[in-house]
């Protein structure tokens, strides 16, 4: 019979990989909750139009990477390739704008993109993201970048903070025109994808990783020279806030991000060890309006969980494991012991193997238990347990009535 294997680009997580994955998730959640973000749980499937309108028809994600399929009534659905569009849809649909002066939400879960699997990025990958709706002040941009920086510090991961401003409706058209004219002059040096991008999405050429394209755009016009007065003021105030927060950053004029909805601030946290982006985000002041809501400024970011997990050196340590070993006819007493230990906050495994103490201890060692809790007839009579440290060999007896106060 043929052996089943996982679908290409869909990845199992086991053992230490799972521990590192959960270390990232739990750290990001903890930091966001400390900044008063509330969780929103989103569906994995949306109408395809949600992403086509928000991300942009001309983006690689929409043109090449979305998993799109019809439902039984012929309506096009899509597995979500990113989280922001779904949050914006929910923000409008549930009229969250009417509940409070501004809204701070975070989400987590799997995303799906049909692209070549690569380091830390599979066709199913996971993100934790956060969005703030209703504030245009660059102080919020700075807070979002500060949160991202704090996550990396807590995980002990070194990254470079890169920022840029990509303008707004007022100033970006002039820049796009100047950039398109420049790209026409160097078209012979561009890769095939960028030859296509230069007409439909020229800013994306600046972000191409192909060496020839990186060389070709070195002399390209800089968006910073085209910013309108309001965008320049926003950029300047953001850098002032970052300086006062003590966050080191680099201004990267070629940083544009791959989604059409961004305006003004964009940023990335780039791992020096792997040379990949692990956290990214920016401002998107027109997206709510473009998706049918009232004009609402917004800013957010997303964490690539698998990518960050690759950089975690020390996952959160599990609690010590207590293996309860029933000897002879003591199973019912052992079950009571297990529950008392769990109620006291211990991680507990009951031995399902019958046999003498030697075999039971062998099992405990194979399961990497830290302590063996020996339950024999004497322990039942005396209403206690024998606890053996499997690392040192030290063994003590503890009364059941003292189990919640004993130092085990």
Q: Is the pLDDT of residue 179 over 90?
A: no
Q: Which of 60, 40, 338 is nearest to 197 (CA)?
A: 60
* pLDDT (0 to 100) of residue 58: 55
Q: Which residues neighbour 227 within 8 Å (Cβ) at sequence distance 6 or greater?
A: 165, 167, 171, 235
Q: Is the pLDDT of residue 268 over 90?
A: yes
Q: Any bridge partners for residue 265, and if so which?
A: 165
Name residue, tokens 């799997």. Answer: 110
Q: Is the pLDDT of residue 1 over 70?
A: no
299-357 tens-digit pLDDT: 999 999 999 999 998 777 788 999 999 998 899 999 999 999 999 999 999 999 888 88
* pLDDT (0 to 100) of residue 156: 92
| Orientation angle between helical segments 138-155 and 229-245, nearest 10 degrees | 40
Give 286-302 as a DSSP string: THHHHTTS----EEEEE
Identical fold at 15-171+227-311 and 321-402? no
Give the whole-angstrom CA distance, residue 321 versus residue 355: 21
Is residue 343 classed as helix, strand or coil in its secondary structure?
Answer: helix
Please give the order of strands across the beta sheet that includes 395-399: 347-350, 321-326, 371-375, 384-389, 395-399
Rounded mean pLDDT, 267-271: 94
Give the whole-angstrom CA distance, residue 83 versus residue 249: 26
Work out the angle at residue 193's Cα, subtended by the Cα atoms of residues 251 and 308, and round it to the nearest 5 degrees.
Answer: 50
Question: 321-402 belongs to which CATH class?
Answer: alpha beta
CA dihedral 51, 57, 58, 60 (to 10 degrees): 40
17-37 tens-digit pLDDT: 899 999 999 999 999 999 999
**Average predicted confidence (pLDDT) for the chain:** 90
Is residue 72 classed as helix, strand or coil in its secondary structure?
Answer: coil
* pLDDT (0 to 100) of residue 132: 98
Element (H, E) at 89: helix 84-93
Give the whole-angstrom CA distance, residue 212 versus residue 214: 5
Q: What are the backbone angles phi and psi of residue 138, rounded to the nearest 5°? A: -65, -10
Q: Is the pLDDT of residue 202 over 80?
A: yes
Rounded mean pLDDT, 106-132: 90
Q: For residues 63 and 57, is the Cβ–Cβ distance under 8 A? A: yes
* pLDDT (0 to 100) of residue 60: 60
Q: For residues 39 and 107, is the Cβ–Cβ distance under 8 A? A: yes
* pLDDT (0 to 100) of residue 59: 60
Name residue, tokens 């998107």. Answer: 284
* pLDDT (0 to 100) of residue 93: 96
Q: Is the pLDDT of residue 259 over 80?
A: no
272-309 tens-digit pLDDT: 888 888 999 999 999 999 999 999 999 999 999 999 99
* pLDDT (0 to 100) of residue 184: 86
Question: 15-171+227-311 belongs to which CATH class?
Answer: alpha beta
Q: Is the pLDDT of residue 219 over 80?
A: yes
Helical residues (DSSP H) of 132-219, grouped into ranges: 138-155, 172-185, 192-200, 211-216
Give the whole-angstrom CA distance, residue 49 versus residue 62: 10
* pLDDT (0 to 100) of residue 73: 93
* pLDDT (0 to 100) of residue 389: 93
| Per-domain boundaries in the chain | 15-171+227-311, 321-402
Rounded mean pLDDT, 47-66: 75
């Amino acid at each position: 019979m043929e052996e089943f294997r996982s679908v290409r680009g869909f990845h199992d997580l086991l053992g230490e990989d799972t521990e590192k994955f959960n270390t990232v998730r739990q750290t990001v959640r903890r930091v966001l909750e400390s900044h008063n973000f509330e969780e929103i749980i989103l569906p994995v499937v949306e109408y395809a139009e949600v992403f086509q309108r928000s991300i942009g028809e001309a983006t690689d994600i929409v043109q090449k990477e979305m998993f799109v399929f019809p439902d039984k009534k012929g309506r096009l659905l899509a597995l979500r390739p990113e989280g922001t569009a779904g949050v914006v849809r929910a923000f409008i649909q549930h009229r969250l704008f009417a509940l409070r002066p501004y809204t701070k939400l975070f989400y987590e879960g799997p995303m799906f993109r049909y692209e070549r699997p690569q380091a830390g990025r599979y066709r199913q990958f996971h993100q934790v993201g956060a969005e703030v709706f209703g504030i245009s002040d660059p102080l919020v941009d700075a807070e979002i970048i500060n949160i991202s920086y704090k996550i990396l510090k807590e995980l002990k991961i070194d990254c470079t903070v890169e920022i840029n401003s990509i303008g707004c409706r007022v100033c970006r058209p002039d820049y796009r025109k100047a950039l398109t004219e420049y790209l026409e002059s160097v078209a012979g040096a561009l890769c095939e994808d960028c030859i296509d991008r230069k007409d439909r999405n020229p800013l994306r050429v600046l972000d191409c990783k192909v060496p020839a394209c990186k060389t070709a755009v070195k002399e390209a016009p800089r968006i910073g020279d085209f910013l309108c007065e309001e965008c320049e003021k926003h950029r300047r105030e953001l850098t002032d806030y970052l300086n006062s927060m003590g966050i080191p950053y680099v201004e990267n004029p070629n940083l544009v991000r791959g989604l059409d909805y961004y305006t003004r601030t964009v940023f990335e946290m780039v791992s020096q060890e792997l040379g990949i982006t692990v956290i990214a985000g920016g401002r998107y002041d027109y997206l709510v309006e473009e998706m049918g809501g009232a004009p609402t400024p917004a800013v957010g970011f997303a964490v690539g969980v698998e990518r960050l997990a690759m950089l975690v050196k020390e996952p959160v340590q599990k609690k010590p494991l207590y293996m309860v070993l029933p000897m002879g006819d003591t199973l019912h007493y052992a079950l009571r012991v297990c529950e008392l230990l769990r109620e006291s906050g211990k991680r507990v495994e009951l031995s399902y193997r019958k046999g003498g103490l030697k075999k039971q201890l062998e099992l405990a060692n194979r399961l990497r238990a830290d302590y063996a809790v020996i339950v024999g007839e004497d322990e039942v009579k005396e209403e206690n347990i024998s606890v053996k440290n499997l690392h040192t060999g030290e063994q003590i007896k503890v009364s059941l009535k003292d189990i919640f106060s004993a130092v085990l």
